Amino acid sequence: MASSFGAAQVLVASNRGPVSYEVREDGSLHAKRGGGGLVSGLSAIGPDAGALWVCSALGDGDREAVRRGVGEDGVRMLDVPADVHADAYNGIANSVLWFVHHMLYQTPLEPVFDAEFRRQWASYEAYNRAFAEALAEEAAEGAVAIVQDYHLTLVPGMLRELRPDLRIGHFSHTPWAPVDYFRLLPDDIAEQVLRGMLGADRLGFLTRRWADAFTACCDAVVGGLGGTEIGVHGLGADGDFLRKRSHEADVEERMAELRAEIGEGRRTIVRVDRTELSKNIVRGLLAYRELLAGRPEWRERVVHVAFAYPSRQDLAVYREYTAEVERVANAVNEEFGTPGWTPVVLNLKDDFARSLAAYRLADVALVNPVRDGMNLVAKEVPVVSDQGCALVLSREAGAYEELGADAVVVNPYDVVGTADALHAALGLPAGERAERSERLAAAGTALPPARWFLEQLDALRG
């Protein structure tokens, strides 16, 4: 008798997939392929492994591709209704779960879990159910499914009910909130999230700290982990790719442009972030201002090259934050700038080649998030920096667990302390800076994306 199951042996589920589509003026569809750890991880298992990526249609082009039956081999894109996706993605995932895990609420005023929240939560449930049903339909008997991130916390439990034969994993790319903060969520929602994740055979986290926080939440809310295993997999930078890509012609061109903007003989403090609330860009700029105010010897001798790429601009709080980043950068330039020196070179347009050029020129990398699951920039800059760079690193970044010993570590809320750290980093002797940078690069590339994915896959297969 033929099996009623699908053919996929290895399945990945994530909100964003490896390809996106746009409709061109002539009505044709143009596919744009993405990169990242999952892409290289799936490619590492080979074309004959029966792998399938289940993702959501994110825009009109994606939805049109689904309607036309256009697609990539190995990808199933779900046409979740746009309003349901908006509620689940912006309303719950990015405005509630992200805020909880990054501890971003201004608690005198927020959160407010009202009837509108409950309506959006129903969309989050429907969105997760669509993924669970698609995975159940596509998976071969005994297949392995690895679900990604806070967008899909309910999928493991839903999938377990539909397909108890599967080996199910879930990986969290964010921090995990400590118990008291996690319990800001309504009691039934907190329990639903945890039980949803505990439907997995194995849960992966970026650091032991986040894994322990999850375990503590389970102990407090649902009485423990049950039979679910916990694993830690510290995603690293793809050193081979970065070294090759950072020496291509477009990067060389942008290095020449940046050198002209910085000026001859000046030191560089580089940061590269999305304008995400947790990245702490404003306090980083204020710390740089404090450096210039308190240590005038650095005036005209250093430039802060800050990349702040717009993120989630459909949410008002993110638009306001981006505007504040721009306002503070302009204020620093107005206060300290001279005809021949612009203290802050702010980049708001996404340009990967220009980011790599800045990596290569960096004397100091500033990575000061208030909270971050990992932060790959902290791992990437030392790999690419031509002369070796010093790393000023927040103790609240997941990367601190692996890189803290060779970084200049800061409390991300302490602007004076961060200014002192920038001064110390700028003053490191060239030899020590190069040695630290070499050790940072080695630690930061210890578990590159393909190996990171295969390690989880092997652990799930047991």
- Is the per-residue pLDDT at 4 higher than 70? no
Residue 395, CA atoms < 13 Å, CB-side half-sphere: 9
CA 104 to chain centre: 16
Query: Helix crossing, 281-294 with 316-336: angle to 10°?
Result: 10
How far is residue 81's CA from residue 90's CA, in Å, rounded to a whole number? Answer: 14
How far is residue 402's CA from residue 354's CA, in Å, rounded to a whole number? Answer: 27
Give the three-state DSSP class for 455.
helix
CATH number of 239-444: 3.40.50.2000
- Is the per-residue pLDDT at 14 higher than 60? yes
- pLDDT, tens digit, for every residue of 89-121? 999 999 999 999 999 999 999 999 999 999 999
Rg (CA), the chain: 23
pLDDT score of 46: 66
Nearest to 160, CA basis, from 119, 129, 186? 129
Lowest mean pLDDT, pick from 48-52, 238-242, 369-373, 454-458: 48-52
- pLDDT, mean of residues 2-15: 84
448 preceded by a cis bond (ω within 30 of 0):
no
State what percent of residues in the chain have pLDDT above 90.
Answer: 86
- Is the per-residue pLDDT at 39 higher than 80? no
Judge if 8-235+451-461 and 239-444 fold alike in CATH terms. Answer: yes
CATH architecture, domain 8-235+451-461: 3-Layer(aba) Sandwich (3.40)
- Is the per-residue pLDDT at 72 higher than 90? no
pLDDT score of 422: 98
- pLDDT, mean of residues 280-308: 97
How far is residue 233's CA from residue 207's CA, in Å, rounded to a whole number? Answer: 7
- pLDDT, tens digit, for every residue of 109-162? 999 999 999 999 999 999 999 999 999 999 999 999 999 999 999 999 999 999
State what percent of residues in the chain have pLDDT above 70.
Answer: 96
Q: What share of the chain is helix, strand, coil (3-state, %, to 5)?
A: 50, 20, 30
Q: What is the pTM of this model?
A: 0.94
- pLDDT, mean of residues 62-67: 93
Give the three-state DSSP class for 190.
helix
pLDDT score of 349: 86
Q: How many residues are listed for the chain in this entry? A: 462
How far is residue 23's CA from residue 209's CA, in Å, rounded to a whole number? Answer: 44
What is the chain's mean pLDDT, rounded? 94
Amino acid found at 34: G
- pLDDT, tens digit, for every residue of 318-363? 889 999 999 999 999 999 999 999 999 999 888 899 999 999 999 9
List the chain domain ranges.
8-235+451-461, 239-444
